[in-house]
Amino acid sequence: MTKDLESYSEEGFIRENIQSNQIENKISTEPSLSVDCVIFGFDDQVLKVLLIKSDQPEFLGLWSLLGNKLKMNEDLDAAAERVLYERTGLENIFLEQTKTFGSINRHPEGRIVSIAYYSLLNINHIQLQKTDNDLHWHPVSEVGKMAFDHNLILETCYQTLQKKVLTEPIGLNLLPETFTLRDLQLLYEAILGTSFDRRNFRKKFFSTKLLVDRNEIEKEVSHRPAKLYSFDFEQYNKIKNSRFSLV
């Protein structure tokens, strides 16, 4: 793997045009391209996002999304997968492009256009890698002011998630392999910021036939234990292009 385009700050940029806040990479007249990933996880009944501390001088101390420069020989999705892999060690994870952000002054090092992705993963499976810059999980509702335009990117991806979770069962990517209906309902309530009637929620979800009864019950809870379910990927592929509406 080449090391040349690993980060924006490696190459000793030359500031030439103060007025327009641009920076020239060699003598290029091209904007630079990066990907930024909003990595969502669900833990402790709370929707979380994986962040690091920015090391941009302008944004010292602020949190920032995980991102990286796009390599010249790398597809867009591959760049996002790389970011995810470098930090979580995970591959084949739900990852989807949302929107590209390219305001002229969004980045202090010059014109950097960033393609945003969001990702959904089961937080229990992962062992964070390269934990420099204080990599860790933040509740989505408690993220304060972020570096760059990352609040906007996060908000956009969060809205996409909220919208999509109503029509496609992508939420299940956030749960462990087996889960209770309570887990599922708490997940949806955390994502959407609403609450559902328990009986109606169950009815609705069972009607999709996406859930497989594992014939097991949860252990070591001090109340009546719930049945465990897992996700039926076959059924998912059947219905994923049809209609599924939670509300």
Report the interface residues with a second copy, using CB under 8 A.
4-5, 20, 22, 25-33, 70, 72-76, 97, 99-104, 111, 113, 115
Residue that is written with structure tokens 């970011």 in the block: 83
Q: Give which of DNA, a second copy, none residue 225 binds (C-beta under 5 to 8 Å, depending on kind).
A: DNA
Q: Contact region for DNA (CB under 7 A) — 65-73, 155-163, 217-225, 233-241?
A: 217-225
| Close Cβ partners of 54 (under 8 Å, ≥ 6 residues apart) | 60, 61, 62, 63, 64, 133, 147, 148
Of 148, 70, 65, the residue nearest 106 (C-alpha): 148
Q: Smaller CB distance to DNA: residue 73 or 245?
A: 245
223-242 residues in contact with DNA (CB under 7 A) are 223-227
Site residues for DNA, 166-185, by CB under 7 A, read 180-182
Query: Could you say whether residue 212 binds DNA (CB under 7 A)?
Result: no
Residue 3 or 223 having the CB closest to DNA:
223
Judged by beta carbon, residue 98 or residue 122, the one nearer a second copy is 98
Q: Which does 200 bind (CB under 5 to 8 A by kind): a second copy, DNA, none?
A: DNA
Q: Does 245 bind DNA (CB under 7 A)?
A: yes
State the nearest-atom distance from the C-beta of 142 to a second copy, in Å.
24
- Distance (Å, rounded) from C-alpha 76 to C-alpha 8? 17
Residue 197 binds: one of DNA, a second copy, none (C-beta under 5 to 8 A by kind)? DNA
Three-class secondary structure of residue 81 per DSSP: helix
Those residues whose C-beta lies under 8 Å from the C-beta of residue 4, and which sit 6 or more positions away, are: none
Question: Quick one: tokens of 86?
Answer: 């470098």
Q: Is the dihedral of CA 211, 166, 170, 134 positive or negative?
A: negative
Q: Per DSSP, which regions of 2-55 are E strands?
A: 14-17, 22-24, 32-43, 46-53
The site for DNA (CB under 7 A) is made up of: 180-182, 197-200, 202-204, 217, 219-227, 245, 247
